[in-house]
Structure 1
Amino acid sequence: MNKLLDKYKKIPAPVKAGLWFFICTVLQKGIVFLTVPIFTRLLTTEQYGLLTVYQSWMAIISVFTTLNLSAGVFNNGMIKYPGQKNQFLSSLLGLSTTVTAVFFIVYLMFRQPINTLIELPTVLVLAMFLELFMSPALALWSAKQRFSYKYRAMTAITVTISLANVGVGLLAVSLAEEKGVARVLSAAIVNICAGLVLYVFNMIKGKTFFHKKYWKFALAFNLPLIPHYLSVTILNNSDRVMINKFCGTGSAAIYGVAYSIGLMLNIVMTAINSSYTPWFYQSMAQKEYQKISKLVTALVALLGGVSLLLVTFAPEIIRIMAPASYYEAVWLVPPITLSMFICLLYNVFAGLEFYFEKNIFIMIASCLGALLNIALNSFVIPLWGYIATGYTTLLCFIVWAFAHYIFSTSICKKELGLKKSIFNIKAICFIVLGVFTATAFIMLFYNLAIVRYLIVAVLCFVFIIKRKALIHLIKQMKNVQNKGKGGE
């Protein structure tokens, strides 16, 4: 134990911080995921669907009210104004508050039509706006902790908020008659209280609500990216909103449970991206394109294998996650999981666009995917029901990733002088096609568990045979993490 502690103490601060930020994300998502079986049994599908719809609208509206100021512009500001970090943070918080106040006034003026549009009662929309006022305080503070590699306070606060959310939620649902509204309000109250504390803390530290230079810089940087942020949010949330519109909150709840299972893949992707992105930037600077290509192909194969495991055990996971009334979600898990798998390709291809600061390419590809998603859902949900949305979402993610591939290939030709992409697209397509084919085959045997278990046994046998290659990949990823985090 002492040797392990000594090794831990010798880890560079950026690597140590990266490790704890990943653990923090896993704990946060893990707590939410583990409590899904509890709330799906305490709430009816309609009551659980209310929470799903509320969270979806919250995500969409927050793009406009918060301007995603805790994203790219914040890190740029930390570098641009190194001696004024607290003032910059509190100024961005002031900007977010001002924009949210404008939208809140608009809501008060057109309350009834807006409530009808989003299908939420006034009390929940008011709670949403209180969250929108306070949530940027936590987001900006967390971004500053990441930038400064200060992981202790952030980990403690994030886990505390997650546990409080569950504890207060269980208490509220147990005591209230309107259990769906109680679940939404309990989560909102926890987030509002945490945000309020950090709001006051940030303002006391920064002592700056308005600063012309900071506001001008933030708006000039982030406003052009709003279509991209909105498009990504729509791709991730519009399904549940439109299902609620056409099929009701019960169907939205079933979709939400399936989506939460697909998001398990995000834990693996978070680990990959936290290591891959900084390493990719360094490798691009050193023109190590062959090394990038080999690692990307290996990562696609690894994530494809994890995707197949999720798809294979989908019936068992659904039975654990929710009662029988949610079982239809099993047919949504495969397309949603594959959509998350395709997200890796988006991250890979878009990495080149971010590296060369081709924001216009990012915006075009994201808008294309979002608009196609809305159009297809408007057509297929009335015809074939909410199950079809899983497949329209998958199609839109494929189009989204393909558009980014086209743009990244163009960048390789113009910026790097290469005749083709730096990625091995033939190998990637072969892996993707194999994962899609295997998924379709597995779905045929969802009612025959023994066949699916045999498939898992075969996969395990393959992993044993290829264990040396797998161990080599893990070691390579460990080296990538050390180099990437050390060079940030």
Structure 2
Amino acid sequence: MTKLSKIPLPAKASFAFLIMSIIEKGLVFITSPIYTRLLTQSEFGQVSVFLSWLNLIGVIAMFCLSTGMFNNGMLDYEHDRDGFSFSMLVLSNIVTALCFVIILSVWPYVKLILDIDLPLLYLMFLIFFLQPAFNFWMARQRFEYKYKLLSAVVLSYAFLSPLTAIICIYLFPNHKIYGRLFGGESILLCVYLAFYLYTGAKAKWKINTSYWKVAILFNLPLIPHYLSGYVLNNSNRIIIANLVNNTAAAKYSVAYTIALAVTMVWTAINGSLIPYTYEKCKNNDFKSISNITSPILISYAAMCVVLILLAPEMLRIMAPASYYESVYIIPPIVGGIFFTSMYFVFANVVYYYKKPKYVMFASVTAASLNIALNWFFIPRFGYFVAGYTTLFCYLTQAVFDYYAMKKVVGKSIYNMRLLTALGMVMVCISLVSNFLYHSDVLRYGLIAVVFLLAIIFRHKVFETIKRVKK
């Protein structure tokens, strides 16, 4: 306890947020096998499509004010953080109301695209209206290193939300989709409402419209970038549901959920890598960035390879046998997710030099390419091809962000021979690993080799971690 008390507050908060994130996302893994067995494949697919639309439309309907803009406001308006938070909440609500009126006015046409009922649209926009209050409070807690209450709130709803959804599915067997969505979101809506009232009360319900102009000018150019990121992550399920059916969307969704397991690791890695990168960029010490990044990416690639090799076992845990064919989508999706780590190591440098327009160009191009390729290839080759278009588009985004970084800095600061070789290895593994699923002995042998190499080079890994944490 004495040692723990001496740990700096930012370090404590970072560790608490990491554990909180792992538990929260881990619960998604725990509950997914339950949902895949309680819901039919078509029902699970409809739920996945709704959640995808929720993420996509939410980028515009909530205006993404809780991201970079809010953190800037915490610095610029330190004397009036309560007033700034409530003013951003009202601005977000105005944008939400405008979006709702527009969609409702053309609902017969929009319904054909969204493929959801009107009650689900009401649920969606109720979330958009209330959720920003919690997002702002959470961002402020992180900014001020207040992790205790935040951790308690997040872990509470992370447990209660799926539990309520499962109970509602049992209580309303003829309306399982509504039970899953309304049941699960009801807990979250109660939390959002509580923080909505709290935010308003702290600001005494006073709005400062001068904050709005700054927020709009800052965030409006970034909306295409935010939207493109969500398109890359969510559009495949929507397109598959429209071009094939909800059953195929459900199978793809399960495969994608398994592949996302490695993103929890990268989120933690990048959280420590960003301040290290910024510090070294400030001192023009690009060599240190390269020396740290290379072993990190090698280690992350090894984790991705292990997940690919264990995909059959993961899928048997996550879903019943009727989903098993989706195992062949997992390798290219994991390969694509690996290239997001390369995107981040390049984009982190670009963000330091405050040139986000280059990152936006890469994101928009990759997202547009992903939609075009899926609409062309899925009707001809089936929904399996969506995994390979994802791999190609994430690779394309990483390449564009590399050139963006090179343009901003004026040179290549990483060991690109090593990173290129690493990328080629991941592409090859993503393309050929499907053939390994027919030989358990070969798969387990390769997994053993990866773990043996990890043991041999463990000191190098630990030393890298220590250097990043300093």
Amino acid at match of 1:152: K
Shift of 1:209: 5.3
Q: Which deviates the most, 388-397 or 354-363?
A: 354-363
Amino acid at match of 1:153: L
Q: Which of 264, 268, 273 matches 1:271? A: 268
Shift of 1:210: 3.2
Shift of 1:107: 2.4
Shift of 1:116: 1.4
1:15 aligns with 2:7: no
Correspondences of 1:294-373 after superposition (within 5 Å)? 294-373=291-370
Q: 2:37 matched to which residue of 1?
A: 41
Q: Which of 80, 85, 89 matches 2:81? A: 85
Amino acid at match of 1:276: L
Shift of 1:201: 0.6
Correspondences of 1:155-304 after superposition (within 5 Å)? 155-176=151-172, 177-208=174-205, 210-304=207-301
Give the distance between the partners of 2:171 and 2:315, measured in 1 at CA: 27
Amino acid at match of 1:372: L
Q: Provide, for residues 246-290 of structure 1, a one-character-per-residue CA deviation record: whole Å limited to 9, x for no partner.
A: 111111111111111111111111110111101111111122111
Q: Provide, for residues 224-258 of structure 1, a one-character-per-residue CA deviation record: whole Å limited to 9, x for no partner.
A: 10110111111111101101101111111111111
Give the distance between the partners of 2:347 and 2:154, measured in 1 at CA: 29
Q: Provide, for residues 146-199 of structure 1, a one-character-per-residue CA deviation record: whole Å limited to 9, x for no partner.
A: 000000111111111111111101101111112122111112222211111110
Shift of 1:211: 1.8
Residues 50 and 181 in structure 1, CA contact (< 8 A), matched pair in contact too: no
Q: 1:106 matched to which residue of 2?
A: 102
Residues 47 and 181 in structure 1, CA contact (< 8 A), matched pair in contact too: no
User: Which structure 2 residue ranges, 5 or more long, are not aligned?
Assistant: none
Amino acid at match of 1:325: S
Q: 1:140 matched to which residue of 2?
A: 136
Q: 1:128 matched to which residue of 2?
A: 124
Shift of 1:335: 1.1
Amino acid at match of 2:455: I
Amino acid at match of 2:359: I
Shift of 1:311: 0.1
Q: 1:417 matched to which residue of 2?
A: none
Shift of 1:466: 2.4
Residues 331 and 433 in structure 2, CA contact (< 8 A), matched pair in contact too: no
User: Which structure 1 residue ranges, 5 or more long, are not aligned?
Assistant: 414-419, 484-488
Q: Which of 71, 75, 92 matches 1:75? A: 71
Q: Which of 416, 422, 426 matches 1:435? A: 426
Shift of 1:340: 1.3
Residues 283 and 289 in structure 1, CA contact (< 8 A), matched pair in contact too: yes
Shift of 1:370: 0.8
1:455 aligns with 2:451: no
Give the distance between the partners of 1:469 and 1:23, measured in 2 at CA: 24
Q: Provide, for residues 63-87 of structure 1, a one-character-per-residue CA deviation record: whole Å limited to 9, x for no partner.
A: 1111100000001011101110010
RMSD: 1.2
Residues 89 and 202 in structure 1, CA contact (< 8 A), matched pair in contact too: yes
Q: Secondary structure at the match of 2:436?
A: coil
Q: 1:389 matched to which residue of 2?
A: 386
Shift of 1:471: 3.1
Shift of 1:435: 2.7
Amino acid at match of 1:451: L
Aligned in 2, Cα 1:227/1:144: closer, same or farther, shift over 3 Å? same
Shift of 1:208: 4.2
Residues 128 and 188 in structure 1, CA contact (< 8 A), matched pair in contact too: no
Residues 353 and 411 in structure 1, CA contact (< 8 A), matched pair in contact too: yes
Aligned residues: 469
Q: Provide, for residues 103-128 of structure 1, a one-character-per-residue CA deviation record: whole Å limited to 9, x for no partner.
A: 11122222221111110011111111
Amino acid at match of 2:36: T
Residues 277 and 349 in structure 2, CA contact (< 8 A), matched pair in contact too: no
**TM-score under structure 2 length normalisation:** 0.98
Residues 239 and 389 in structure 1, CA contact (< 8 A), matched pair in contact too: yes
1:152 aligns with 2:148: yes
Give the distance between the partners of 1:365 and 1:121, measured in 2 at CA: 35
Shift of 1:437: 2.4
Aligned in 2, Cα 1:471/1:359: closer, same or farther, shift over 3 Å? closer
Residues 94 and 209 in structure 1, CA contact (< 8 A), matched pair in contact too: no
Give the distance between the partners of 2:142 and 2:352, measured in 1 at CA: 20
Q: Which deviates the most, 312-321 or 285-294?
A: 285-294
Residues 95 and 209 in structure 1, CA contact (< 8 A), matched pair in contact too: no
Q: Secondary structure at the match of 1:211?
A: coil
Residues 45 and 249 in structure 2, CA contact (< 8 A), matched pair in contact too: yes
Shift of 1:333: 0.8
Give the distance between the partners of 2:89 and 2:438, measured in 1 at CA: 52
Shift of 1:362: 1.5
Give the distance between the partners of 2:199 and 2:341, measured in 1 at CA: 35
Residues 53 and 241 in structure 1, CA contact (< 8 A), matched pair in contact too: yes
**TM-score under structure 1 length normalisation:** 0.94
Give the distance between the partners of 1:441 and 1:368, measured in 2 at CA: 27
